[in-house]
């Protein structure tokens, strides 16, 4: 018995060890590698970096998630296959290119801003096959991006013009002069700066121009030449004091007759990197997905769902400060503005809610119309039944009166037919007549009975008169018996009643 138990425990231990070994083998079903391409490009152009995940032959990959790090000083992430991110970090998630095969491929697009060598590294990774087993990564590579200077691009980083509002520049603007000063009033929080570059390919960034403090502060206007390397800063020293130049006149004052027209407006240059939003980013209400072509590049965007011929679109992007947001892009004028929801739409009903309310309204309307129709039909039926009841009641009443009249006439005719026969028959005792029980019926039947009684009384009276004439007078010697006299007296008393 003990030996049997020992063998039993040994067999269970071997089964557990085999299952553990099988689980271990399943957890890491195959080996794999992560590799990159090492592209080269000129400064100011885009560069494509290829990322590949390769597994052993016969292994079918089903899911991959990676986090990449790249230098922001020379590279700017634009877009990628199943990729999103910015500010030095990219998240790759999905298997669009290569699902169900042993190799996954991702293409990442970067803008290059200046010459140099840049490395893109893998920070974290998770790769699984179609059985849910984690891939054992034996090699994790990196990408070396080489950016060469673009000699043919302009190095002009000068401003063509610089204007302020309120206040004025001291000294007057000169492209060669990089330091200026101005004075503003206490109510001015931000300068209106109109900075146009001498080279149309150059870009402008304005810094430190928000919530200007009292006293001294500095606003920077940075110009980057088309080559992406030449940078020039224009410094504006701002003195915010009481009694200084204030903000421009209000809209109401601007509408006075002394207003002028023909004033030219221009916005400062800005750069937005279009990206794909993550799963946690909520798309603005009312927009539908669309593939939009901007400057020959196909990007992810959204059109307003009600527009059949849209002139605007919404894209998701990152600005120069690394902030992610939705932007409204004018497809006609090629202008860009940060997207914001209409304040009036906060209390508005969404399309889905409107459709649901419309459907509920239509359902209730149909139900009310059906109920109204049913009620009308029931009213018509009730009216018809009421009329039928009235007509039938009148017909029955007429038939009843006619029946009673016929019965009365029949009785009278019967009495008249029976009158000669009764005259020939011997007189019945009054007691038999008085002993008859009459059933008191309705008022009409009682009237018929009274008429019948009256007829009988008249007949009896006539018969009595005839008998009195036929009988001899008392003087002749005939006497009437007490019994007959009493019967006659009772008969007349009964008829009088």
Q: Is the dihedral of CA 21, 22, 26, 30 positive or negative?
A: positive
Say which residue the tokens 């299952």 belong to: 19
From the number of C-beta atoms within 10 Å of its C-beta (0-12, 13-18, 19+), residue 194 rates as: middle
Question: Residue 142 sits in a domain of what CATH number?
Answer: 2.60.40.680
**Is 196 part of any domain?**
yes
> Which helix or strand (DSSP H or E) is residue 251 part of?
helix 251-254
**pLDDT at site 485:** 46
**Is 55 part of any domain?**
yes
Q: Give the closest residue to 108 by CA, choosing from 140, 85, 138.
A: 85
Residues 109 and 201 both lie in one domain: no
- Residues paired with residue 318 on neighbouring β-strands, in sequence order: 273, 324
**pLDDT at site 465:** 54
Instruction: Give the CA count within 13 Å in the CB-facing half-sphere of 247.
Output: 12
Cα 237–chain centre separation: 53
Looking at the structure of the chain, the number of domains it has is 4
Kindly write down the DSSP assignment for every residue of 384-441, as one continuous string.
HHHHHHHHHHHHHHHHHHHHHHHHHHHHHHHHHHHHHHHHHSPPPPHHHHHTPPPP--
What predicted TM-score, i.e. pTM, was given to this entire model? 0.32
Last residue of one domain, picked from the residues 344, 360, 389 = 344
Last residue of one domain, picked from the residues 327, 344, 361 = 344
Query: By residue range, what is the domain housing residue 83?
Result: 26-148
* Contact between 207 and 265 (Cβ < 8 Å): no
**pLDDT at site 180:** 95
Q: Give the closest residue to 188 by CA, choosing from 207, 164, 170, 169.
A: 164
**pLDDT at site 380:** 93
How many CB atoms neighbour CB 54 within 10 A?
A: 20
Q: For residue 399, what are its two tokens?
A: 């038939």
Residues 111 and 188 both lie in one domain: no
Question: Residue 209 sits in a domain of what CATH number?
Answer: 2.60.40
Instruction: Give CA–CA dist 113/46, Å, rounded.
Output: 9
Residues 231 and 308 both lie in one domain: no
**pLDDT at site 178:** 94
- Tell me how long the chain is: 497
Residues 83 and 142 both lie in one domain: yes
* Contact between 285 and 342 (Cβ < 8 Å): no
Residues 142 and 163 both lie in one domain: no
**Is 448 part of any domain?**
yes
**Is 399 part of any domain?**
no
From the number of C-beta atoms within 10 Å of its C-beta (0-12, 13-18, 19+), residue 88 rates as: middle
Residues 50 and 81 both lie in one domain: yes
**Residue 57 DSSP label:** T
Q: Give the closest residue to 101 by CA, choosing from 141, 60, 62, 131.
A: 60
Residues 35 and 142 both lie in one domain: yes
**Is 397 part of any domain?**
no
**pLDDT at site 36:** 92
Mean pLDDT per 10-residue segment, the chain (497 residues):
52 58 50 89 84 85 88 87 86 79 86 87 88 85 85 82 88 93 90 88 88 92 85 93 73 46 50 78 83 78 77 83 82 79 52 72 83 90 90 86 85 77 55 46 56 57 52 46 46 39
Instruction: Give CA–CA dist 294/471, Å, rounded.
Output: 146
Instruction: Give CA–CA dist 373/5, Å, rounded.
Output: 84
Q: Give the closest residue to 108 by CA, choosing from 212, 157, 36, 43.
A: 36
Residues 120 and 204 both lie in one domain: no
Residues 33 and 144 both lie in one domain: yes
**pLDDT at site 475:** 46
**Is 299 part of any domain?**
yes
**Is 257 part of any domain?**
no
Q: For residue 402, what are its two tokens?
A: 């006619």
Residues 143 and 36 both lie in one domain: yes
Residues 180 and 208 both lie in one domain: yes
Last residue of one domain, picked from the residues 315, 344, 373 = 344
Q: For residue 197, what are its two tokens?
A: 């570059």
Instruction: Give CA–CA dist 215/242, Å, rounded.
Output: 10
Residues 177 and 141 both lie in one domain: no
**Is 385 part of any domain?**
no
CA angle 490, 491, 492 (to 5 degrees): 95
How many CB atoms neighbour CB 49 within 10 A?
A: 24
**pLDDT at site 400:** 84
**Residue 212 DSSP label:** P
pLDDT tens-digit map of 267-285: 555 677 888 887 778 888 8
């Amino acid at each position: 018995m003990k030996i049997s138990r020992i063998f039993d425990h040994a067999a269970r231990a071997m089964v557990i060890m085999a299952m553990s070994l099988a689980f271990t083998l399943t957890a890491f079903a195959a080996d794999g590698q992560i590799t990159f391409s090492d592209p080269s490009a000129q400064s100011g152009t885009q560069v494509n970096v290829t990322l590949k995940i390769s597994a052993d032959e016969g292994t079918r990959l089903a899911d991959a998630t990676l986090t990449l790090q790249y230098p922001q000083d020379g590279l700017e992430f634009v877009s990628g296959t199943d990729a999103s991110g910015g500010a030095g970090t990219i998240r790759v998630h999905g298997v669009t290119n290569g699902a169900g095969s042993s190799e996954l491929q991702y293409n990442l697009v970067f803008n290059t801003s200046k010459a140099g060598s840049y490395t893109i590294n893998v920070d974290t990774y998770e790769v699984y096959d179609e059985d849910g087993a984690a891939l054992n990564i034996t090699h994790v590579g990196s990408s070396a991006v080489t950016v060469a200077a673009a000699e043919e691009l302009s190095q002009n980083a000068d401003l063509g013009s610089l204007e302020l509002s309120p206040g004025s520049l001291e000294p007057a603007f000169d492209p060669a002069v990089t330091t200026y000063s101005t004075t503003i009033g206490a109510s001015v929080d931000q300068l209106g700066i109109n900075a146009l570059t001498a080279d149309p390919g150059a870009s402008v960034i304005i810094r430190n121009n928000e919530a200007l403090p009292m006293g001294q502060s500095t606003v920077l206007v940075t110009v980057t030449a088309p080559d992406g390397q030449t940078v020039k800063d224009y410094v504006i020293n701002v003195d915010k004091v009481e009694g200084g130049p204030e903000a421009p006149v209000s809209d109401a004052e601007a509408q006075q007759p002394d207003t002028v027209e023909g004033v030219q407006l221009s916005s400062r240059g800005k750069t937005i990197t279009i990206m794909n939003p993550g799963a946690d980013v909520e798309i603005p209400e009312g927009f539908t997905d669309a593939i939009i072509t901007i400057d020959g590049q196909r990007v992810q965007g959204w059109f307003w769902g009600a527009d059949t011929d849209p002139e605007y679109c919404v894209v998701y992007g990152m600005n120069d400060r690394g902030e992610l947001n939705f932007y409204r892009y004018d497809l006609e004028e090629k202008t860009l503005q940060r997207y914001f929801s209409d304040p009036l739409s906060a209390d508005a009903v969404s399309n889905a809610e409107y459709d649901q309310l419309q459907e509920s309204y239509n359902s209730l309307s149909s139900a009310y119309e059906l109920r109204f129709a049913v009620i009308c039909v029931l009213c018509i039926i009730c009216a018809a039944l009421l009329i039928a009841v009235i007509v039938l009641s009148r017909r029955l009443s007429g038939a009843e009166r006619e029946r009673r009249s016929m019965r009365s006439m029949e009785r009278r005719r019967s009495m008249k037919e029976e009158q000669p026969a009764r005259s020939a028959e011997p007189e019945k005792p009054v007691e038999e007549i008085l002993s008859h029980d009459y059933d008191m019926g309705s008022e009409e039947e009682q009237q018929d009975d009274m008429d019948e009684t009256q007829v009988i009384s008249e007949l009896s009276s006539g018969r009595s008169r005839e008998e009195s004439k036929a009988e001899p007078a008392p003087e002749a010697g005939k006497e009437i018996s007490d019994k007959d006299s009493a019967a006659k007296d009772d008969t007349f008393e009964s008829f009088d009643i």
